[in-house]
Structure 1
Amino acid sequence: MFGLEIGGKNLLETQWQGTLNDYVTAIAWSPTSEILAASSAIGEVRLWMPGAFTALQTSTSESIDSLGFSPDGQFLAAGGQDGQVRIWHLPPDSNNISAELRPTTLSSPHSLWVEKLDWSPIGNQLAFSSGRSVQIWDADLGEVTATLNFAASSVLGIHWRPDGQYLAVCGHRGVKVWNAQNWDDAPYSLDIRAASIAIAWSTDNQYLASGNMDRTLTVLEWNNPDPWVMRGFAGKIRSATWSEPLTPVGAPLLAASCAQSITVWEKQLDESAGWEARVLDLHEGIVQAIAFQPGSFLLASAADDGYLCLWQDAEQVAQILEGATAGFSCLAWHPQGQRRTQGLPLLAAGGQNGELLIWEKAE
């Protein structure tokens, strides 16, 4: 079964399903087309597009752990266990995409594992982790233009602010934020006693969330020196995500996953009340990924239990999707969000046994 209905009609229906040969480690949509990239724990990189499922790279026996398209959709970057970043320059005609397409290869200093990468939302600058530092590679110039020293530990997360003005990097002892207009400026530091393992900028550029190993969630309002610290979680915060729309008080919703549950935080009108939380409990396995649909408050969560839940208004389950027999590993909404119509891909997810599933709007 690929779509359990929870009262009322289904929101999504299966458009396509296929498989990779191992655990799906990452998926990413092109922001400008219907192309989906997927990678596996044995190094595969494959592209799905309507009518085709193409291998860019076959098994190398070393995991690919991060994928990302440039904002213009021209470049796809993949980084992983072998310490290299491969960047494919995709032709405008998707019919010419094949395994014969040769990537540009960047080597991480000392061949350190490339676990994280992220493209600038306003240009072809790629940030990727390299041990205790982040390299900034400019696709237009074809060279590394900056090296950012995190110093305290290996880099555990990278996220550009949506306006492209700042880059946040996290790891042991917190978060550092660099000014992308001048990499030589000293970074802003958000100090946290434990390691920060999940960071996320809000789409309105106002808030930076940090999920931490000490069972706290920190929310920094930019230009406000006093962050909020949320406590009481059952374990480490694995992921955090913001809604694109704003609530009536002018702030987005924040969702964070911890173990088998998701907590949704909503800012209150009374500043002294801070943020109020509601807990979404349904999953029976570790929640591996959460994401708001662009343009809405519809929240998706994917877990080890083999369920992908769609939470209407980030409150109530509207539908449960299935199809990953050993559990889900990742999910991604198409960036065009609510502009998707029936017949166009809307949501994708990867499974721990290599399943790759794509859903569209239900009729």
Structure 2
Amino acid sequence: MKSSKVKPQEFNLHWRGTLSDYVTAIAWSPSGSTLVASSAAGEVMLWHSGELTTLQAGNGASVDCIAFSQDGQFLAAGGQDGKVKIWRDRTLIATLEHAPAWVDRLAWSPISNQLAFSLGRDVQVWDVDTGKITATLNFDTSSVLGLDWRSDGQYLAIAGYQGAKIWHSQDWNDDPYALIVPSASVAIAWSPDGKYLATGNLDRTITVLEWNNPHPWVMRGFPGKIRQLAWSEAKTQSGAPLLASSSVDGIVVWEQTDKSLSWEGRALTHHTEVIQAIAFQPGSFFLASAAEDGWVCLWHKAKRLAQTLAGAPDSGFSGLAWHPQGQQLAAGGQSGELLIWSKSLRGQGFVSTANASPAADALGSRE
């Protein structure tokens, strides 16, 4: 049988628009038919069928987090004014008032219409169907710095000072499981299969917990705090997904080895300014990164640079989001730019290519 060399994917600019201020968050609906973007001016904008429309006009109070519910029925937004707003079919159905708290983290349960959002040292869980708060979770040691649901909806992980706490959604009153870190966890992410929980920490380390195993791995050797984490849906031959992490202007991709079950890192270098977002294309090892240098980098198999995308030359990019089917990539800029690239049918004609560094100056070990 002849072997064929698979060409890396190419993405071309499909649409471009502008918000009035820094794009704080972007997200696709589960069907991929709609893209939502928010700004530091308080705007909430919807892109659908090639047109950008206003769901909420700017009011001077930044909207910092937005998300669609798992079935796409509801859209939630939170921000500087302490309000959590929920829309259904572009109609505002609820406004939860929490001023003077600043709501900068929120996430929907992947299996139900329960919304978790941060309020200082607490996380509240609100049920759309009943219109009631079902839980108030006290992190206690600090403000909430990150939160993420496990893919089966059974656990909610919350990050902050001294690590992470994990609550069971079937018994919110039960004591949470604690993943202790000697500094603060500023990023947190479950793997799509729910087997691993990773935290990016202020002391320049990553902690990876295998669920039901009390001995986590710790990765070291980074130049600064770990700002971003991303897991791949696809798995390697070892049966584990890849974990991408960013610190300052560099990326390290972690892969679990077959024999020792340790994690080995490889560095990806091209960005020259702080990386603001990283994300794997759904179902593949194709990795995207966006940085303040004004570039979105696309990494073939999370190993080498296949393409660079421009579009935020003034202040750089602030975030990115993959279409659920992976054929489009959206990114927001710090000067209000909103761009969507589409996958080319030709699969050729790259902007630039470069090789990743052969190995990362980092170690992953059990503790």
* TM-score normalised by length of structure 2: 0.90
> Given the alignment of the two structures, is residue 349 of structure 1 paired with residue 331 of structure 2, yes or no?
yes
Deviations 1:112-167 (A, max 9, x none): 00010000000100000001000000011111111011111000001000111100
Q: Within 1, Cα distance between the matches of 2:248 and 2:50?
A: 37
> For the residues of structure 1 that align with 2:306 and 2:258, how far apart are their CA atoms?
28
Corresponding residue of 2:285: 297
Cα distance in 1 between the residues matched to 2:88 and 2:130: 14
2:307 paired residue among 297, 319, 324:
319
1:244 aligns with 2:195: no
Where in structure 2 are there 5+ consecutive unaligned residues? 1-6, 346-367
Whole-angstrom CA distance in 2 between matches of 1:31 and 1:142: 23
Match of 2:111 among 112, 122, 142: 122
Moved >4 Å (runs of 4+): none
- Alpha-carbon distance between aligned partners in 1 of 2:49 and 2:208, rounded to the nearest angstrom: 40
Partner of 1:256: 245
| 1:184 aligned counterpart, secondary structure | coil
Corresponding residue for 2:359?
none
Preserved contact between residue 205 and residue 219 of structure 2 (Cα < 8 Å): yes
Tell me, in whole angstroms, the C-alpha distance in 1 between the residues paired with 2:137 and 2:153: 16
Give runs of aligned pairs for residues 172-191 of structure 1, distance below 5 A: 172-191=161-180
Residues 197 and 211 in structure 1, CA contact (< 8 A), matched pair in contact too: yes
The answer to whether structure 1 residue 102 and structure 2 residue 92 are counterparts is yes
AA of the residue aligned to 1:362: S
TM-score (norm 1): 0.91
Aligned CA-pair RMSD: 1.2
Q: Which residue of 2 aligns with 1:160?
A: 149
- 1:261-280 matches, within 5 Å, as 261-271=250-260, 274-280=262-268
How many matched pairs?
Answer: 338
User: Contact 1:33–1:73 at 8 Å: present in 2 too?
Assistant: no
2:78 equivalent in structure 1: 79
1:179-238 superposed Cα distances (whole Å, 9 cap, x missing partner) = 011111110000111110000000111000000000000000000000000011000000
For 1:278 and 1:33, locate their aligned partners in 2 and report how far apart those are by CA, in whole Å. 32
1:282 aligns with 2:270: yes
Counterpart in 2 of 1:199? 188
Q: CA deviation at 1:111?
A: 2.7
Decide whether the 8 Å contact of 2:282 with 2:324 is kept in 1: yes
Give the Å deviation of 1:14: 1.0
Instruction: Determine if contact 1:200/1:208 at 8 Å carries over to the other structure.
Output: yes
Letter in 1 for 2:299: W
Q: Relative to 1, partners in 2 of residues 1:9 and 1:274: Cα closer, same or farther, differing over 3 Å?
A: closer
